[in-house]
């Protein structure tokens, strides 16, 4: 009894290429095509061997050494922290702009009053 795959060899190769290129993850394809992650990972490893791409001796899709994986994770944490800080500053800037807009009209009124008392401008609605 042989197992009949619901996906053709060409389709499995295409999906493995998506993972290798970084377009999709093993998990995304596993969910999308209702196959186990182990199966998708097997397709990826087979395709890497066909293309001559070195894989991890521990299986899985860990093609980077542990030090490089830690460095990538640290960089990602830094980017996430920077995005959070940027979002906080954008929010603060929006609040500051709102406060500034609220101050413009009263300041203009104060300027008109000051010019009136300095004799440089007649008060609106008063005949000169």
Find the radius of gyration of the CA atoms of the chain.
Answer: 32
Name every residue whose Cβ is closer than 8 Å to that of residue 7 and which is 6 or more positions away in sequence: 15, 33, 35
Residue 90 pLDDT more than 90?
Answer: yes
Mean of pLDDT values over 33-60: 80
- The top-scoring range by mean pLDDT among 33-47, 85-99, 106-120 is 85-99
State the burial class of residue 16 (Cβ atoms within 10 Å of its Cβ: 0-12, 13-18, 19+): buried
pTM more than 0.75: no
Name every residue whose Cβ is closer than 8 Å to that of residue 80 and which is 6 or more positions away in sequence: none
Residue 4 pLDDT more than 70?
Answer: no
Look at residue 1 in the predicted model and tell me its pLDDT: 43
Look at residue 65 in the predicted model and tell me its pLDDT: 63
Q: pLDDT averaged over the chain?
A: 82
């Amino acid at each position: 009894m042989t197992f009949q795959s619901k996906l053709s060899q060409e389709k499995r190769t295409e999906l493995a290429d998506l993972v290798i290129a970084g377009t999709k993850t093993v998990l995304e394809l596993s969910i999308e095509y209702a196959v186990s992650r182990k199966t998708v990972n097997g397709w990826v490893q087979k395709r890497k061997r066909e293309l001559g791409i070195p894989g991890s001796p521990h299986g899985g899709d860990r093609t980077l050494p542990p030090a490089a994986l830690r460095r990538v994770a640290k960089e990602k944490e830094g980017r996430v922290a920077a995005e959070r800080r940027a979002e906080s500053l954008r929010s603060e800037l929006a609040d500051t702009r709102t406060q500034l807009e609220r101050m413009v009209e009263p300041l203009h009124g104060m300027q008109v009053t000051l010019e009136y008392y300095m004799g440089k401008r007649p008060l609106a609605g008063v005949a000169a």
